[in-house]
Amino acid sequence: MLGREFELESGEKVLREVRMHWFFFLARLLPYLVLAVLPFFLPPVIRLAGPALAPLARFGGWGAPLARVALGVWWLFLWSAAFNIYTRYFLNAWIITSLRIVEIEQRGFFNREVSSLLLNRVEDVTIDTRGLMHSLLDIGDINVQTAGAVDRFTMGNVPAPAQLRDLILAHSAIATGQAGPPLA
Amino acid sequence: MDQPLVPFTSPLAVAAQYGLSAHQLGAGLVLLGLFFWLLFTLTAIYHWLRYSHAALLSLPSVAAHLFVSGVLILFTLDALASL
């Protein structure tokens, strides 16, 4: 579970912690993988370019020490960028407790917003699944409509959205007194 | 007399114009890379420890980042030493 972003009330329990589906996380990493192997395609391209790039061809290919230094620095940069994606994937979350939904939005480093929505203010929960990949992997967006000042909570590309909607609605009903606590 | 047009110049030739050897060019590149890596790593670790210190994945994630970075830095320094 994420750290002490908020204090739990007495009797409040964390029901679920939700993040974006892993498929989108991997999809965001893909460009970095492509960029990591891209340098290996440079020597053939330089050779094909002919005399225009001849000075670069004398650079020595990726076996040359200076080229390996450049490659190492490039990979270090790419690895850091990929780790940044992972960090943001992990730090962006929805935490559903028995009393509220806490949305933690990490927009970037030192740019963070944590907002809460009480379950007894939930009016409607809708899910939106569009496209083949979303349908196959059971991914969707969840929109939680409230009666409060914050009209709408949206979390995009979450796994098993229908299950999550049912969980929110069930605990919203309990919070508003329209249903009893779930049987153990 | 007209000289043939050379659209690209070797990085070593550019460095030589400024009186820099290949080793100095490599060292500069590594220093720059390490500076940004250090800045990023400290920031990322701060966020992991500050916001997800209770998470099971927190310390393994930071350790994995440091391990992979360490391997890449060793690879780079090894190449630099052979310049």
Q: pLDDT at position B32, please?
A: 95
Give the pLDDT score at A18: 92
pTM, rounded to two decimals: 0.84
Mean pLDDT, rounded, of chain B: 87
Cβ-Cβ contacts under 8 Å for B58 (sequence gap 6 or more): B48, B49, B52
- What is the distance between the alpha carbons of residues B49 and A101, in angstroms, rounded to a whole number? 23
Q: How big is the A-B interface in CB pairs under 8 Å?
A: 114
- Is the pLDDT assigned to residue B1 strictly greater than 80? no
Dig out the tokens for A165 from the structure.
């909607």
Cβ distance A55 to B8 less than 8 Å, yes or no, reads yes
Task: Name the minimum distance, in Å, from the CA of B1 to any CA of chain A.
Answer: 20
Residue bearing the bigger pLDDT, A113 or B71: B71
The residue type found at B7 is P
Longest Cα pair distance anywhere in chain A, in angstroms?
Answer: 79
Closest CA in chain B for residue A89: B48
Using an 8 Å CB-CB cutoff, list chain A residues near B29: 69-70, 73
The angle subtended at Cα B4 by Cα B2 and Cα B6, nearest 5°, is 135
Look at residue A179 in the predicted model and tell me its pLDDT. 67
Q: Cβ separation of A58 and B40 shorter than 8 Å? A: no
Name the token pair of A131.
Answer: 């496209």
Sign of CA dihedral B54, B57, B60, B62: negative
The CA–CA distances, whole Å, from B34 to A69, A115, A182, B83 equal: 12, 36, 54, 18
What is the pLDDT tens value at each position of chain A, 184 positions in all?
A: 555 567 788 888 889 999 999 999 999 999 999 999 998 888 788 777 777 676 666 666 777 888 899 999 999 999 999 999 999 999 999 999 999 999 898 888 888 988 888 888 888 899 999 999 899 999 999 999 887 665 678 888 999 999 999 999 999 888 887 766 665 5
Q: Sorting pLDDT into bands at 50, 70 and 90, what band is B35? A: very high
Q: Which of B10, B52, B68 sits opposite A58 (nearest CB)?
A: B10
Select from A52, A66, A73 the Cβ nearest to the Cβ of B12: A66
